[in-house]
Amino acid sequence: MDINGLVALVTGGASGLGAAAVEMLIEKGAKVVIADMNEEKGKAFAAKLGDNAIFVKDNVTVTAENEAAVTAAIEKFGQLNVLVNAAGVGSASKIIGKEGPTKLEWFKMVVDINLVGSFDVMRLAAWQMSKNEPDTKGERGVMINVASVAAFDGQMGQAAYAASKAGVAGMTLPLARDLSREGIRVLTIAPGIFNTPMMAMLPQTARDSLGAQVPFPKRMGEPSEFAQLVCAMVENAYLNGETVRLDGSIRMGIK
């Protein structure tokens, strides 16, 4: 799909990888709904981007807020063509510790945000996309989820995170098949170690150490490189039902 003139919804769009995707989509001529829990940051980001961006407060575990985000795209910009599901949480805990088993509520919380939340936004967005007039290639929309290399290389303490991200990767193909008749493509990006604000909180020595683990290039990924892949996925009509690792060929160790 030609990005110029499309309308996108980006969850987790106020910072990190989501924000990078928002900026590049707008640079290429899209209009974007930024959906995020951080209202202050989201509103400031949308204001900075101008008339082609709006902010909607969205906790992806709340269906009513997901519905409001999808509706905002239709009401403000007239349609919805692209979804980027970048909202998520990273949290670690081993299955048992010195004081007993880990809390089941914690496991459910991580899965609810990363997996169930992603699916909820997708089902709502897909319904709206199915109402679009197809373009010259028969496309009505494209949905891009964000998993993680942890889906395949989960480390110690990452059972909940890895399970949730493996679920995101695992539903990619069946959802692409579900939506094939509607002309809606479904894809997933599994990022490795990226230079996000969360990583910026680590000491420089720790960041350098993480980057050195990447075979090539020996550094952390930049959010703009994630955004480039998002745009390439939107533009390549034959790319569908696939999870793409974006990780410099790293394979994570035990811990």
Per-residue pLDDT tens for 94-129?
Answer: 999 999 999 999 999 999 999 999 999 999 999 999
Contact (CB, 8 A) for 32 and 107? no
Q: What pLDDT score does 155 carry? A: 87
pLDDT of residue 210: 81
- Predicted confidence at residue 243, as pLDDT, reads 98
Q: How crowded is residue 91: how many other Cβ atoms within 10 Å of its Cβ?
A: 15
Task: Give me the catalytic one of 45, 55, 77, 161.
Answer: 161
Domain 7-246 has CATH 3.40.50.720: yes
* Predicted pLDDT of residue 253: 85
Q: Are strands 96-97 and 82-85 parallel, antiparallel or unpaired?
A: unpaired
Q: Quote the pLDDT of residue 154.
A: 86
Say how far residue 163 (Cα) sits from the centre of its chain. 16
pLDDT of res. 72? 97
* Residue segments in the chain with a per-residue pLDDT below the cut of 50: none
pLDDT of residue 7: 98
What pLDDT was estimated at residue 255? Answer: 81
Which value, to the nearest 10 degrees, does the dihedral of the CA atoms of residues 52, 37, 175, 32 take?
Answer: 0
Q: Given this model, what pLDDT does residue 39 score?
A: 96
Cα separation, 64 vs 69, whole angstroms: 9
Quote the tokens at residue 185.
């493509």
pLDDT of residue 204: 84
238 belongs to the catalytic site = no
Specify the pLDDT at position 4: 97
Res 203: pLDDT: 79
